[in-house]
Amino acid sequence: MPLRLVLEPRQATAPLRALISLATTLGLAWAFGSLVFALAGADGVSGIGAAWRAMLQGALGSALASCWVALFMAPGLPPRLLLPVALAAGAAGGAAWAFAPALLKARLGVNEILSTLLLNYVAVLFMEHLYYGPWRDPAGLGFPGTAELPEAVWLPTFFETRVHLGLPLAIALAGALWWLLARTRWGFRARVLGLSPKAAAYAGFRSARITVTAMCLSGALAGLAGTGELLGVQHRVQDGLASGLGFAGIVVAFLARLNLLAVPLAALFLGALLVGADQLQTELRLPGTAVLALEGALLFGALLGEFLAANRLRLVRRGRKEPGHVG
């Protein structure tokens, strides 16, 4: 059966164009998320663990901010300004949600993993309160969720597919973040602080300001991930809005080896691979967990390759004396 799928691709159950569109859409959602982890790994200021937890909070916070703009500010804004304002509100909402744990770490030394972990529950419960309560769609037939956002705030799509404006935005952000870390004074100071806080303190760097800025920047990126999912795909706040963005973002970031420029390509690759795995489920009757197993195998292979590239393994026979051994 697998050979038949390779030799006879025309028998696929879905059109190729739809598969490419879906793979690209998944890749876009993960690209924004993995930029958060790649930035955390590149600057070293905010750890990967804290970035994963801040990813969910920023995505949900930004979705709420963008939804508020679309639902309650749309009548008073020109249609041309509605989408830029919603995007800016999403980025600002993600940054604002990351500001509290960043300030606690910079001023009081509170572990950012602990603070972001506790704030996860606040973000999820607050969002559920809104779409189960005051923001619930009266015409939703009892289903929890907001009303559909106006089309003026939707992200434009290309070539009659689901691929939206997030594609060029993700590529532009990856290049801008690489330039920020590799070519600016702030990026150099952030990398020094991540590698050696003592060296940064000896050089007179303002560690607290750098930490707060880096974590808020990560929150803004997470905010754009949630905003892109809301305005480009789901068009309403509902359950499962940011589901899977954090885990997939970690896999993509490590597949790209924390290289900001490689993140969009790694995200598109993973999206295409998982969409193909879904098709194999349909054709071969594979269980749904096969996709998760494939994702885990990819991450394990990437980590194993990283380990083998940094270490040399040598087999030594028992009882054999090493050169220069005396005795």
The mean pLDDT of the chain is 76
Residue 23: which of 199, 298, 265 has the closest Cα? Answer: 265
- Residue 95 reports pLDDT greater than 60: yes
Asked whether the beta carbons of 45 and 193 are under 8 A apart, the reply is yes
Question: What is the number of alpha carbons within 13 Å of residue 167 lying toward its C-beta?
Answer: 16
In a domain, 321, yes or no: no
Tally Cβ neighbours within 10 Å of residue 45: 29
- Segments forming the whole domain that contains residue 213: 2-309
Q: How would you label 252-280 residue by residue, b for 16+ Cβ within 10 Å and e otherwise?
A: bbbbbebbbebbbbbbbbbbbbbbebbeb
- Residue 29 reports pLDDT greater than 60: no
What does the pLDDT read at residue 41? 60
Identify the band that residue 8 occupies on the pLDDT scale cut at 50, 70 and 90.
Answer: very low
In a domain, 77, yes or no: yes
Residue 164: strand pairing partners: 157
What does the pLDDT read at residue 3? 40
Mean pLDDT of 153-178: 83
What does the pLDDT read at residue 185? 92
Q: What are the two backbone dihedrals, phi and then psi, of residue 146, each rounded to the nearest 5 degrees? A: -80, 170
For 124-163, write each residue's pLDDT tens digit.
Answer: 888 889 889 999 998 878 788 899 898 889 988 887 777 7
Mean pLDDT of 271-288: 72
In a domain, 319, yes or no: no
- Residue 23 reports pLDDT greater than 60: no
Percent of the chain past pLDDT 90, that is, above it, reads 3
What stretch of H or E contains 9?
none
| CATH code at position 91 | 1.10.3470
Of 245-249, 285-289, 290-294, the one with minimum mean pLDDT is 245-249
Which of 58-62, 153-157, 260-264, 302-306 is the most confident on average?
153-157
The Cα–Cα gap between 37 and 162 comes to 25
Provide the number of structural domains found in the chain: 1
The Cα–Cα gap between 229 and 226 comes to 5
Mean pLDDT of 157-178: 82
Q: How would you label 69-81 residue by residue, b for 16+ Cβ within 10 Å and e otherwise?
A: bbbeebeebeeee
- Residue 245 reports pLDDT greater than 70: no
Asked whether the beta carbons of 181 and 45 are under 8 A apart, the reply is no
In a domain, 230, yes or no: yes
In a domain, 325, yes or no: no
Report field, pTM of the whole predicted structure over 0.85: no
In a domain, 291, yes or no: yes
In a domain, 8, yes or no: yes
What does the pLDDT read at residue 262? 81
In a domain, 53, yes or no: yes
Mean pLDDT of 91-103: 87
Q: Check residues 42 and 12 and name the one with the higher pLDDT.
A: 42
Identify the band that residue 235 occupies on the pLDDT scale cut at 50, 70 and 90.
Answer: confident
Q: Which residues contact 52 (CB under 8 A, 6 or more apart)?
A: 37, 246, 247, 249, 250
For 49-81, write each residue's pLDDT tens digit.
Answer: 455 555 566 667 777 888 888 888 877 888 888
Residue indicated by tokens 């949600």 = 97
The Cα–Cα gap between 212 and 100 comes to 9
Q: How far is CA 201 from CA 193, 256, 320, in A?
A: 8, 31, 49
